[in-house]
Structure formats: C-alpha cells, structure tokens
Structure 1
Amino acid sequence: MLGMSVEVRNDKSQNQYTILDDGRPVGFAVYQVSGHDIAFTHTEVDPSEQGKGLASILVQEALDDVKATTDLRVVPACSYVANWVEKHQEYEELTRR
C-alpha cells in the first residue's frame, strides 16, 4: 500500500532521482550526464516496496523532469528504463532529441 504522499526528487549532487513514500526513500534511478545525453544507468526499488508501481512512477517523473527542464537526449542504459520507454511510446521522442 502506497503512503499518502509519493514524491520524486532530483538529487543532483548524487546524480540520481529518488522516490520517497511518506518522506522515506524507497528507490532511485541513477543517471550520468555526458555532453547532450543523460543516461539512466540503474534503477532500484527497495525489495520490500516492490510490486506497488513505484519504479514506474519514478521513471515517469524523472523523464517528465528531463523533458521539462533540459534539452538532453535520454539514453535508457538501464533495462528497466528501456522497457518502460518501449511500453510508453509517447516518451520515445526523448531518446531522439
């Protein structure tokens, strides 16, 4: 069961987006910026929190943030992000910027 407030924030100092459930970190998506690319290299959700859709929320919020605040091209180097983008065709444009 998800808490009352799920929040995703960009922790730029750690090069990762962190997902919090009621203020508690429960997962992250690590990225590396190189030139005009932002490569998502690893996505992880606490095993005790899996199955709640948190990884999907995390990836969607991270990609929405990249789209809204940068002109970087998304490189889905992590298999979860690659599969997510494949299932959500409207985000494929981010991989061709």
Structure 2
Amino acid sequence: MADTVVHDEAGSRFVLMRGDRELGETDYLTRADGEIVFTHTEIDPALQERGLGSILVGGALDQLRATTTARIGATCPFTRRFLDTHPEYQDLTTR
C-alpha cells in the first residue's frame, strides 16, 4: 500500500497516510502576509528513522508549490533542515 500526503486544510496540517492509518503530520500556520510557516513535524515513534518525515515534508512542499504562490518558512527544526539540504525547494523560501 502506497503512502500518500493529504492536505488537511481545516487543521492547518499535512498528514502522511498509509491506507486509513495516519503515520505522521506536519503542522503550519499562515501569517498575515501570506507566508506559510511549518511549525512542527512528527512521525509515529514506532516508524521513525525510515525516511517518512522526508516523504511527508517533501509531499507537502510539492503540493504547496502546485497550489499556491506563498513563500514558505519553517520554525520546525526538521522542516528547516529539510529545506537547507534539498536545494530543489529553495525557490519556495524566496517567493
């Protein structure tokens, strides 16, 4: 069964799903200027260190790239590190 990243816009989060099981989430807030800031990322502790956080954050960023022109930021250490180490997403931080 494939993992999918689902945008829960009402909850201001993206969720990593495997079937009907929630594996993790990354939360965000939208600032008054329209910037989207990731504040927290968490994967089920039993599944950590398997690359699922990167799948989640990458999927969230891909969706935001496709659906918005908002600048992306992060106070979440995991997401900040992801952005720093994945140059293909740097354009999102300078929109």
> Which consecutive unaligned segments of at least 5 residues does structure 2 have?
none
TM-score by length of 1: 0.93
Matched pairs, number: 94
Q: Say what the alpha-carbon RMSD is for the aligned residues.
A: 0.8
Shift >4 Å, 4+ stretches: none
User: What residue identity is the alignment partner of 1:36?
Assistant: G
Find the counterpart in structure 1 of residue 10 from structure 2.
Answer: 13
- Alignment partners' CA distance in 1, 2:34 and 2:83: 19
Question: Shift of the alpha carbon at 1:36?
Answer: 1.9
Q: What percentage of residue pairs aligned between the two structures are identical?
A: 37
- Alignment partners' CA distance in 2, 1:52 and 1:6: 13
> Which consecutive unaligned segments of at least 5 residues does structure 1 have?
none
- Alignment partners' CA distance in 1, 2:72 and 2:56: 15
**Counterparts of 1:19-58 in structure 2 under 5 Å?**
19-34=16-31, 35-58=33-56
